[in-house]
């Protein structure tokens, strides 16, 4: 079905099912797709924002009502209207390239951060869970620093070792936290998704 509909990976249906449930993607948004290759999530966001753009007379026909920034250490084939950076957002060079594309709003913040990042699996459960937890943590750290107060973060993670700690980390940062297991995610897989919405104000020390 993914091939028939022009998407690069079946992972697109996981995002589409979560979006249908939670209405993540709204007109005018700036969306950052971390670990975007091969690009199916960016494709979906582009298509949704383009559909929403039909309701805005200021948006050129066939163009998205919003901005999509994608970044990955791997190359990614070009997607129309998606700003792609081949780089590492954990490093200064990649982060600066990403920040240069952010909208010049009050604080150059974004509305939605997506992460479908996953490590190369070794088959050793504890090791794979540790690598996955690390990717989740860096996505959370990025979101905490770049989201608007009312923004949202959606990440892929494993429901196993380290999962409860990750949920607690989300709860420290977000007002609402929910787990999602979309139908497109294989039932036997430990893969799940965490959604955090509305950043909590940072607590300042005395």
Cα–Cα nearest to 110, from 98, 93, 118, 92: 98
Neighbouring residues of 147: CB distance < 8 A, sequence distance ≥ 6: 109, 110, 111, 113, 153, 199
Choose, from 156, 171, 200, 203, the residue flagged as catalytic.
156
Q: Which residue has the tokens 């007109």?
A: 27
Q: How far, CA to CA in Å, does 16 sit from each of 43, 130, 187?
A: 11, 27, 17
Do 72 and 82 form a contact (C-beta atoms < 8 A)?
Answer: no
Do the Cβ atoms of 163 and 138 come closer than 8 Å?
Answer: no
Q: In this structure, are strands 191-199 and 147-158 parallel, antiparallel, or unpaired?
A: antiparallel
Q: Residue 34: which of 182, 137, 184 has the closest Cα?
A: 137
104 has catalytic annotation: no
Active site members? 156
């Amino acid at each position: 079905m993914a091939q028939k509909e022009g998407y690069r990976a079946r992972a697109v249906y996981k995002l589409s099912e979560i979006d249908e449930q939670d209405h993540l993607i709204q007109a005018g948004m700036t969306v950052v797709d971390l670990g975007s290759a091969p690009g199916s999530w960016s494709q979906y966001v582009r298509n949704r924002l383009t559909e929403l753009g039909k309701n805005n007379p200021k948006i050129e026909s066939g163009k998205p009502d919003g901005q999509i920034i994608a970044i990955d250490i791997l190359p990614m084939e070009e997607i129309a209207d998606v700003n792609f950076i081949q780089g590492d957002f954990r490093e200064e060079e990649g982060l600066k390239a990403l920040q240069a594309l952010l909208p010049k709003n009050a604080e150059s913040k974004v509305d939605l951060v997506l992460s479908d990042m996953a490590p190369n699996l070794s088959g050793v459960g504890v090791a794979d869970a540790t690598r996955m937890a690390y990717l989740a943590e860096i996505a959370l750290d990025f979101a905490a620093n770049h989201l608007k107060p009312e923004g949202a973060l959606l990440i892929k993670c494993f429901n196993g070792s380290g999962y409860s700690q990750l949920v607690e980390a989300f709860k420290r940062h977000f007002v609402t936290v929910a787990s999602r297991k979309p139908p497109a995610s294989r039932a036997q897989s430990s893969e799940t998704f965490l959604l955090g919405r509305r950043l909590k104000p940072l607590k300042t020390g005395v």
